[in-house]
Structure 1
Amino acid sequence: MTRAVIVRQLGGPEVMNLEDWPLASPGPGQVALRQTAIGLNFIDTYQRSGLYPVQLPFVAGNEGAGVITALGEGVTGFAVGDRVAYQGQVGAYAAERLAPADRMVHIPAGISDQTAAAIMLKGLTAYYLLFKTWPVARGETILWHAAAGGTGLIATQWAKALGATVIGTAGSDDKVALAKAHGCDHVINYRTEDFAARVRELTGGRGVDVVYDGVGKATFEKSLDCLRPRGLLASFGNASGVVSIPDVTLLARKGSLYVTRPTGAHYMGTRAELVEGAASLFEAVASGAIKVEIGRTFALADAAEAHRALENRETTGSVILLP
């Protein structure tokens, strides 16, 4: 048995409860982990609410770090005692868990378990968006919404290191200051300014090459107004609601624009892609190009409180749970 945060019915944060949960020995291709830190992400809230379907009941969470305590049949490349991290594997909100060995990556010396848990999902999201969805080139200008969030703080620093001009948005003066301290050349307070008009002003009327938008419904159409002709909107999250495009000719009227809805499942689907992305991420952290901001920590038992803080926009940087 282990202690885990269980979702037995869909709904708000109150549907999550810390319970005893059965834990078997690792099967073929699996490892057993004693978890040391667990990342909190918006996808966790989407699964809990039912926006992203997961079969009930389930252990919440998708990202963590820990120490391997046992190996299943056929596992190679890992040993008991190895420090590893992962993302995209439901079942993270637990003191111990089983997980596929081929979705684990070794944590390099010099990077703590808490840092690894804080960056795996968010950092690999930043990686595929900046290097694969739209490979950012030196001299380009990008707009990143929620620049003071966990993914935003990683991505804006990384984009700046790539030589881009980085414009961010944030929802308070404190968040604006935090985003400016983490790579943004300009930060727009979307609560007090029209961000589309300000982007046009900052770019001399041209618009940005690419918009990265994890906010969703509230920012979608005005994000299109920020793009140069033939620019790309990468819509990768739904924090304010799901996006819909009732009339695709809108993209033609606004400049023959491109829109994509990327997910990590399609960019990190193979082990080779996962290892490549994690190596790039860990290297950027080790070099100092990315400084990891852990805004808050919660006990595993307080996962519901952590979800409320995330959904109410009360957090900055990465948030982690400690088992």
Structure 2
Amino acid sequence: MIDPDLSDLGALVAVAQARNFRAAAALRGVSASSLSEAIRRLETRVGVRLLNRTTRSVTPTEAGVQLLERLTPALGDIAGALDALNRFRDSPTGTLKLNVPTIAAQRILSPIINRFLAAHPGITLEISATDSFIDVLAAGFDAGIRYDESIERDMIAIPIGPRTQRFVVGAAPSYLAEHGIPEHPHDLVNHACIRHRFASGVIPSWEFERDGKTIKITPKGPLIASTAELGVGAAVAGLGLIHIFEEYLSDAFQSGDLVPVLTEWWQSFTGPRLYYPSRTHMPVPLRAFVDFIKSPAERAAQEHLTPLHPSSRCAMTRLP
């Protein structure tokens, strides 16, 4: 009779989903060598090779594919059954893993998660910030935060954080005094512009809208930054105009280090959403987070996150 260890079976699923021992080890919080040993131990017990390993990739064999097709949902049911025991505790426990955009991690989530963790001291929240699109479930996350056009249609999505955001344009007074104030988005082609490159390699165009007319600009400038902080610092130093989430410029606008530009062209978009699969057995930490986000008191707190300039059109660009 074949009697493999349950943890070894879990190791097989993790490696097969990640297609990489190191990535699977990072998600499980163990060493790659321990996972490799678990797979060798499992293959010895069943007497069949389950994974093909090369220096570049790890893929299931035909036998591995057949085992995984039945094993993955079975392990999910076991995890769900064990996690359901949380309902008999005074306070839910466990770890909740979220994959979120950088802007959410840096400027939106802090007050929300502070309130959530204060209400649920038994839960550990693990947040990974990235602007690259990934399969969050295959990568080992319980849920993700993205914007509407980035969310798979088979996912459940609920608003989290501000209901609208802006992608605004600002420049230092010294820059505008020397180069003039652009009156129309087309004027930006004659200005120095500080651009951003996402981790995916995409350098987004600058998009504006007014009276139903949309204009996209591909600007030029002295700096392409991979972080918001670098770009904002360059703008404050007078190197050019910057087009970025308002949350990154609100302090500089209030202090006068930067001046809002082209405000009548700012475009409105809906805010981010928490998304997760429709599961029969939702992990208790995720259920607690969803219930918290949907609670009337928390919705009211998030809806008070209003833009800096309420009279202007709101704006936010999509992540690439």
User: Structure 1 length as normaliser, TM-score?
Assistant: 0.25
1 or 2, which has the higher strand percentage?
1
**Which of the pair has the greater relative contact order for Cα pairs under 8 Å at 6+ separation?**
2
Structure whose residues are more often helix by fraction: 2
- Give TM-score, length-normalised by structure 2: 0.25
